[in-house]
Amino acid sequence: MRPPVNETLQDDRTLVERAAGRDMDAFEQLVERYRSKVYGLALRMMKDRGEAEEIMQETFLSAWQNLPNFRGDSAFGSWLYRICANYALMRLRRRKFEAPPGEEPALPGPRFDSEGTILTLPSYDWSRGTEEKALDRELGRAIEQATEALPDDYRTVFLLKDVEGLSYEEIAEVTRASVPAIKSRLHRARLALREAIEAFYKMPRARVQAAGDGTAL
């Protein structure tokens, strides 16, 4: 059973205060508490386990070095996620800069026009979803694939806001984008995921089950 959120935050403050005083045992407890979450965020942003591992290490090293400057204006976890996202975004920008010239390969999933607006969002009768509840695992995979197919900027905003719970202002600090731009990207990311859910429920049941089993052609 997880401890209440307030107790976790209070415990975080105590550990952070000790770690800021260079108490390595306290810092190791913080690392153990947030390791999987930081790694998960890095992996979802980079889609590469090796890079995610490196970003996780860079994140905790930076946190250790900068703990004396941590003012506690936000939760320690949010501060940590911002550091992690910063390192991931730097790598994504470098990756884009180092990519060979030419047209990027087409990715499966939602398509966007030159302005970043999602194209051809289909309509759907959401009442059909009830009978598909048994396929939650396959639906989760479809959503995960749609998330990975999002443009980097949209995927980053979606992960930081809807998965990690950062505020618009915190995301703006990380991404160097305005709050209105972040809200626009989040809206488009959510539309893309909605499209993935709609497409999933429109698949014939046998095909969906085959996709989940990895037997679809």
- The rounded distance, in Å, linking the Cα atoms of 165 and 155 is 14
Angle value at C-alpha 16, between 11 and 20, nearest 5 degrees: 155
Check whether residue 91 and residue 140 sit in a common domain. no
Q: Which domain holds residue 80?
A: 5-98
- Per-residue pLDDT tens digits for 59-113: 999 999 999 989 887 889 989 999 999 999 999 888 877 655 554 444 444 444 4
Q: Is residue 56 part of a domain?
A: yes
Check whether residue 82 and residue 9 sit in a common domain. yes
Q: Does the global pTM surpass 0.75?
A: no
112 three-class SS: strand
Number of structural domains in the chain: 2
At residue 33, the pLDDT reads 94
Q: What is the CATH number of the domain that holds 81?
A: 1.10.1740.10
Check whether residue 20 and residue 77 sit in a common domain. yes
Q: Is residue 117 part of a domain?
A: no
Check whether residue 94 and residue 132 sit in a common domain. no
Percent of the chain with pLDDT over 70: 71
